[in-house]
Structure 1
Amino acid sequence: MKLSSISKLGLVLIVLLIVNKYYVVIEAAPVTASSNKEAYVTLLYGDEFVLGVRVLGKSIRDTKTSREMVVLVSDGVSAYAKKLLQADGWIVTPISLLQNPNQVRPTRFWGVYTKLKIFNMTDYKKVVYLDADTIVVKNIDDLFKCGKFCANLKHSERLNSGVMVVEPSAELFNDMVSKVTTLYSYTGGDQGFLNTYYAGFESARVFNPEISAEVVNSKPVPEMERLSTLYNADVGLYMLANKWMVDEKELRVIHYTLGPLKPWDWWTSWLLKPVDVWQVIETSVLDAATIGIWLRNGRFWPLLPLQCLVFGMYSFVFKYFCDYSSLSPYLCDGFRGYSLKYGQHG
């Protein structure tokens, strides 16, 4: 009888162990499931591009996507800017910069190799990377059907790293990092490195979202695929031809590539028609907080001397006519009141 009781106790313990093991497996499942997540990703090195990231985020949200949005931020991004981005729906992820190993390069390219860290975002099955000077004008969730690496060709046979689809892998990332000092970069930055790393990219097949699912299920996943210009429409090329090289109604992503002529600088809308599209979205996110960051980073100050000159000439002309001509006294009185008001309080 006593032995029987012990046997029953042992049986109960065995059952409990089995149940506990099964429970742990069930609890662990969501952790492995995280590798099935997909996300849109961008990079931010400092506050200067905060407005760009905010507009990009709004453009992505407007497409009604269900994917996460992740912004990788370096130490140069202020805590205040991070709060703004979190309020916009971005997952703010701090990262350290990867130093550019190239001695001959533009000064502004010091930390651009940091972009390689998107290849190490192994919490996600697939990520769509977008530069902070891009906007999404139509849903691009179909890009998550891309293979292991997808990008767009620019300037003949070279790929542009401003829009990429990446299947993250720690092994791939480590291999890239091990080669940054040995592989040639024609730009002195990440884009040149990636062109060398993905040799033969210009011969890769063109990505077609209609057949990608079938290909993935029946054949090996392609190492590289080329994206249509629809997914990375270059404003620089638009400027040369004064029109898009593809059907404007089918555009997915616009990329404002013209160096210092960024869409958040208000005067660029006078030069480039596509900036209007960006600035329409800007009006919905522009607030006092963003303007404060924008001013602190000097986007306003380059024009300050010109503005002072214009206001000075304006004041001189009115003063001259008011003092030495028969200009309407009502207009002069109004101007003097304006000058007094803003001279004391402006």
Structure 2
Amino acid sequence: MRDSALKAGLVGLAVGAGVCWALYGLASRRRRRRKGADPGEREPSALLRAASGLPLVSSSSGKREAATPQQAGIDFPNSPHGLGTEDLQNLIYLLESTKDSAIQEQVLITLSNSAAFSINQDTIRNLGGLPVVGKMLSVPVANIKEKALNALNNLSMNIENQEVIKAYIARVCEETCSAPLNSELQLAGLRLLTNMSVTNNYHSMMISSIPGFLYLLSAGNERTQVHVLRVLVNLSANPAMTEHLLKAQAPFLLSLFDSCTKEDVLLRLLVFVTNLAKHMKKDKNTVHYEYNEDSVFSVLWGDSTLCAQKLASLFHHHDMEVREQVAKLISQQC
């Protein structure tokens, strides 16, 4: 009955944003009939049109700035209260009830934008929206998965939300490592994993994906390398992850210790290795593990002469931050 009622509302409408607004209105009216809503509440189609027109808040720099109405060129309240609880509830209901990928994408963008505001992050969790967004990772459409990852990324800025999102870490790792190389889907996954790896709480859930992360470091473009190194740096900051990272295969690693490597990549790579060296210095047992010849440990410290030559060359790098990080790494190895 529910699907029939929704389909009836689509007669004469084009697939796309117009469909999304119409369905949102149907969902909203249905919920009002069930719960008795305020008759003076705002027109839902205009609300969705405004909210979904905002740019996604998911910058590659890691900084999050909510777009203002002036930047977006629309008349939308520059306030965390721009979307109320009833609005968010209707959006979650719509996402849960529709099978149309165009509608799913539009709603996910709207939820992602609303999650730029911390108050909405709590509201979406309290309304049960996180599992609804998480289920979108199973939709076999790349754009839907990407938009779901973007929404989860913004929602993961909330510690309580991370406790719910952790259930999807394995799936996110799988999607990230198997996505087309350098794709937006892959980058969306890496951004979410960066947020989820800021604390040590969920590192153990990413251990099996370390080989995949290192592959992306070797094969990806500069943007992918920067994003995957953010994850690897977070993991390497945790002493409990040292053994897992040192045992991983990375025969290419020393080749990145080169002045031709972009500074953004090189600096993060040096931080990653410095973290490992610091933990090894504190825990002497790590050097006695059995390592494959292509492991991170063997590549970096199996032939100390080659590594020393690479670092000596980088000590004269034109970028001061790179030189400073090289000095830190050398001090950890003394």
TM over 0.5: no
Higher strand share: 1
Q: Larger relative contact order (C-alpha < 8 A, sep ≥ 6)?
A: 1
Higher helix share: 2
TM-score normalised by the shorter chain: which range applies?
A: under 0.3
